[in-house]
Amino acid sequence: MTPKSSLLLGGSCVAAIAAVGSIFELSSGSPELGTVPTTIILGLCLPLVAVLFYGAVKDARANQE
């Protein structure tokens, strides 16, 4: 694993945690940041998780010995 793939995987984990937190906030009925900002965070994090994870896997496979 390269430093680049480690950073991408770490970013994917942070985005996934933010997405799960947003889901919990929205399901509570009264999000602390409000419904619109929490929905925007969720909408941005879900594709970001996929893109960063895909980039990490692609980089790790390209740099295997």
pLDDT in tens, 25-41: 999 988 999 999 999 99
For tokens 């390209």, what's the residue?
Answer: 62
pTM: 0.87
Token pair, residue 36, equals 């619109």
3-state secondary structure labels for all residues of 26-62: HHHCCCCCCHHHHHHHHHHHHHHHHHHHHHHHHHHHH
Measured CA to CA, the distance from residue 1 to residue 17 in angstroms comes to: 22
Tens-digit pLDDT profile for residues 2-59: 899 999 999 999 999 999 999 999 999 889 999 999 999 999 999 999 999 999 999 9
For tokens 């994870």, what's the residue?
Answer: 53
Q: Where are the chain's structural domains?
A: 3-62
Measured CA to CA, the distance from residue 26 to residue 30 in angstroms comes to: 7
